[in-house]
Structure 1
Amino acid sequence: MNIEMIRAARARLDGHVRRTPLLNSPSLDAVAGRRVWVKAECLQHTGSFKLRGGWSAISAMEPALRARGVIAFSSGNHAQGVALAAARHGAPAVIIMPDDAPRAKIDATRALGAEVVLYDRARDDRDAICARISADRDLTLIRPFDDAWVIAGQATCGLEIAEQARDEGITRADVLVCCGGGGFSSGVALALEAEAPGLRVRPVEPEEFDDMARSLRSGVIERNERLSGSLCDAIITPQPGAMTFPILSRLAGPGMVVTEDQALHAMALAFSGLKLVAEPGGAVALAAALFHGDEIEGDDVIVTISGGNVDATVFRTALERFGG
């Protein structure tokens, strides 16, 4: 991975993804006790940053290989990013999704033209299902985070953060990034290393699924005991990626961990303060900025809202419990 790959991905993404805004709200600043700058990837096509990685990987494929089709596994956001990128490149897409994924994400993936294959997290071997279908149909696997071109595509968000922070006069700050396997946070970290070295990535995870934070502390990859059971489904992974962990070990600050209630509270505050719709996993970085300020230094903090694909019932719960 290097900055040239990231810049090449940006050139391929040009005109196909949105340059999302960096937003500020006095009401969020008041809660956090510092200026909070929100990179609103929930406004991206498909509702999350995942289109960046999906488009980067599929656009980099040889045309003949791409025409045979792609396969991916995802609880919903990577699924939609790959589905849209494949559809716009005229390539078939098969997406392996857990049957307990939010219904809105399953339906949206199908609406984008992908074939969805559901599995039971507790009983089925997802990787075996994916390998069998891939071999039977000669499909190329687009991994959600341990793929160099996926990381490069997601890193383009980091290039935008560097430029937007410069425009606001921000030269030193923590950049809190929602983290599952680490593709987004490691990509952003690589981009900032080259373009804004005064900005430091801090991966943020939900309580009980903090494998990246624990791994960064211990210096070795650690696994989660559970693979499901969190509202923050978008960022639940077994363990950090083999590609992403070394990048974050070198470039990132300590990981941060928030509760589900803090994520729901952040969703309500994002809606009231910025009129943004966030899903729980997409709101954890904002939650860390708002409710864990003692772990952050400086007058400014930059956060990602990485996704907004939330079921109506969950969003309603956030607003009813914490106001909106």
Structure 2
Amino acid sequence: MDSHDVKHVYGPVPSRRLGRSLGIDLIPYKTCTYDCIYCQLGRTTRKTVTRERFVPTETILAEVRRKLEAGERPDYISLAGSGEPTLHAGIGELIQGLAGLTDIPVAVLTNGSLLWMDEVRQALMPADLVLPSLDAGDDRLFQDVNRPHPSLAFERMVEGIAAFTREFPGQVWLEVLLLGGITGMEAEVKKIASLAGRIGPARVQLNSVNRPPAEEYAACLSRERLAALGRFFTGPVEVISDGPADGGPIEAAASCDDTKILALLGRRPCTPDDVARGLGLHVPDVVKKLNALLRMGKVRTKKAEGRLFYTASPTSP
């Protein structure tokens, strides 16, 4: 398969939550309902709540089919990518189409901001797993952390996630991303935990900054601190981190061209280990390729929390 034929499907990538995940990017870069201070993709360039058919669903399904026929067998197919996936007006048709194409479970990673809309909740019903986010316990911190579109109300967002969780036949895993000095304090966590109890997800996943954030003041919390704060939540709670994900068979780096690496780095900052796990390569080979791309100006580096991350340069395809 010519990797140039695939523009909206990427990976599989190593996922802290889903193992090896084949990603689908439904939205133009950084088109979102939020402008979160911790976002690994940087600041939102188009903040909107208007749902559109950004990419034909037939185009995406054809790309997934070619990717799977090429021998890729991920643990999940995930709808996420460069913006808020529920902004795509055809997301329901896409999920149904994926169910007809493969038995690989479909996960939707969403900020949950549009689940108050009946049509969005209905569109996600055929999915196997939905992972919404809740990053604040009140409107003040909602505005500070998520920087939502002006039309989005905090209470309506929370009730939308709760309504979806009550209706959805699959599982809902609620991600709570906590920030040092902002939301990672007991008083604030108790507020979030109260709302999480009202939502009633199958599990709560506590997270913090793991990659370079949009704003430098978005500080991470240690795993130990997250685990300590987990006691305020009821039901299953787990701390998710950037730990190793099973990567499947390792192949020679020669079988992976630069386009695949750039497609991955264009959607999320990665360490060499991340690239190796996601694309099934040896770490030393990945380092050689990344150094070559760095010399050509196709990738850039940035340090965060003592680790070196690579991202695609703006001019890279």
- TM-score norm. by structure 2 comes to 0.34
**Which of the pair has the greater relative contact order for Cα pairs under 8 Å at 6+ separation?**
1
- TM-score norm. by structure 1 comes to 0.33
